[in-house]
A and B are shown apart, each in its own frame.
Chain A
Amino acid sequence: MARIPDRQICLDLLGRMCLIRRFEEEAGRQYQRAKAGGFLHLAIGEEATIVGTTSVMRDDDFLIGTYRTHGHALARGTPADEVMAELFGKETGTSGGRGGSMHIFDAERRFMGGYGIVGGNLPLAAGLGLASQYKGEDSVTVCMFGDGASNTGNFGETMNLAALWELPVVFLVENNLYGMGTAIERHSAVTDLSRKAEGYGIEGERIDGMDVLEVRERVGAHLEEVREKGRPSLVEAFTYRYRGHSAADPEVYRDKSEVEEWQQKDPIETFIKACLDDGVLNDDDVESARREADETVEAAVKFADESPEPALESLYEELYVVSETMGWYAVDERSPEPHRGELGEDAPDVAKNLAESGAAHAAEEQERQSREGVRD
């Protein structure tokens, strides 16, 4: 383990990792209670990779991730309330209930989103990097993606373009050894992913993603180098998710013993031990970090629970920006009138009617599910 930083930093790292762990455990529980729907991908076990990375990013740096990014948003400072509310599909969620677990977003903190298509965020990261370069800013983009994404065409295309244009992007593979249920040696011809962009002239480095201090130190070094030289780099962080790919994963592809082995290297427990051994933190600090995480998450569930559902008449909102260049938009061509909502003013009624018929169906379905206790 790398050198222990000062007390304030240790408290911050511990606090954020505890928050993510606690948040994810609770998200899993709320999913079982059908408060959260759809898919739920938990990052329990991957806290050090996430927090180590964000702890060395500047406020004006961009972060972009995958569908497993509740923790990334939390680490960036997005309120747990809003992340939980998004999981609950509520109006107060980070994406107003339009995105869900896979699409958390926080422009204010430059968390540029969670994305549901494997590898789809890689070109976007290059675009964010291009914008920094174009505007002459020295912000850097950190693009986090899984080992599975390294097999997509986007990986090769983006590495090539980012290297060619010398874009300021740190590509960070969260290598948790599985692309969904397929082990890395079964999905990637080259399993040393840090070398996978060598052909594009991008140097890579393997790091221990379970060690928050190593992540902090090494990703910090990459960030500074990319910031200075304006060339992309690749970091492969070895990490592990204790839970399945999603909440609906029976995990037939790995042994329990493997999970237990990784849990021995638990990123939070090992960090706590190092801090206690060093004396930089004491038992009270650890206790209060855990308590605070408990309280924050408990409050987030309450907030999400009590938040309103998105308003039905907002179904068509935010699809387009209506402006001088597009003065109107027909909310739905199925609706007989009006065709031209004048600046959208006529739209809400029509939208509301359509939405209500859809919502009525959703309510029936929800009732059926709770009656039959359906939950995969």
Chain B
Amino acid sequence: MSRHDRQSFLGKHSESVIKATTVGVVGLGGGGSHVVQQLAHIGTERYVLVDPDTIAESNLNRLVGGTSEDVMKQATKVAIAERVIRSIVREPNIGAYHCTWQEALEPLKSCDVIIAGVDSVIAKDELDKFCRRYLIPLIDMGMDVHEIGSRYLIAGQVVLTTAGAPCLRCMGIVTDELLTQEARKYGAAGSKPQVVWPNGVLASTAVGLFMQLISPWHGKGAPSAYLEYDGNKHTLTPSKSFALIKEQPCPHYFAEEVGDALFDIRKKVQANAVAMDAQVKAADDSSGSQSKFVEFLRGLLPRMRRR
């Protein structure tokens, strides 16, 4: 019996499809750490992991894979996620970026799907914009603990959004009011309460939406979804307000906006020629021999320099 026999219902080619899919995970805290663990078990081999933080003592209540030793060593969250993946997947291809996601745009552009667990509304808004520009489905998780009188309500949501379908603004997850509130609180001390089990529910649902996208096992998949979590009732239900808008086109983003704004193929071709030149020089310097590979590269250069 092979490792993936029990998930063969996902399709005859599901194993190769899962292996060939590049997943970006932005934010490797409570939600993202659960996500990478599940992706690894499913058989995902290609990852772009992005998080600017190191683990702290207060993360140990929910960060999957995090240990007391990691806290002492001030391990980065991407390193912890990478270790979790490598303990399950034999030869994963991992791009681990200990930085903000805005500093990892190039690798993120090549992702087939991005799963995000970012706290701020601004980050959600910008990530949605980025994903729409490069036609990348975005699965976003969010969770909050609200104080109501002397009691608490755990609430959250998991959403899937793709270009053309309703965006996070259409869904009301990003609003100007929330952006303004967040901007006012910028730099204020304190952190949101977070616990492990709601993160697990939301992360599992995010992975389910991811699998539905890349290896659908039923015919009712959709390019967008909005599931609301009530942590007090322990329920996850489709948003009623979203049901009213899910068939409507997004009025916030337009197809004409996709791609790099200042793209110039001539610069890309030139940059490739320079890179090729450097490779040839390095090969010459290291061996001093006229290998077939060097000759091959030289043969390509005149064509690339022509313009």
Q: Do A and B come from one complex?
A: no
CB within 8 Å of B: which residues of A?
Answer: none
CB within 8 Å of A: which residues of B?
Answer: none
